Amino acid sequence: MNIAWWIVQGLAALGFVYSGWLKAFQYEKAKASWGWVKDVPKAFVVLIGLAELAGALGLILPEALNIAPVWTPIAATGLAAVVLLGAFFHIARKEYREIGVNLIFLALAVFVAIGRF
């Protein structure tokens, strides 16, 4: 089962790195890719991106380095909260097509959080 958690952690981390990098460091590209970015303050989009990047690091590094591995499920829980709030945001905006990605990453984060706690 440990292998399954590592695979899910890696997939989730890759997704969050991609999304977080666009939001934090390539704002114009994020604005072109996601319609909601135009309607949210840039600082908030960057903050979400930085949180996703930090969470992605938290999914991998503590467990891989065996330095305070309890931070891995904590990071997964934080990322699950970010994604869940994003899903609620899309529901409020009636962007139902966007929710699928949120649900996938929510499931990945919850799987890691439950498994690593």
pLDDT tens track of the chain, all 117 residues?
889 999 999 999 999 999 999 999 999 999 999 989 999 999 999 999 999 999 999 999 999 999 999 999 999 999 999 999 999 999 999 999 889 999 999 999 999 999 999
Q: What is the pLDDT of residue 1?
A: 82
pTM, to two decimals: 0.93
- Give me the domain span that covers residue 36: 2-116
Q: Note whether 62 and 72 are within 8 A (CB).
A: yes
**Cα–Cα nearest to 13, from 63, 84, 47:** 63
Indicate the number of domains in the chain.
1
Quick one: which of 73, 71, 76, 103 has its CA closest to 87?
103
What's the pLDDT score for residue 40? 94
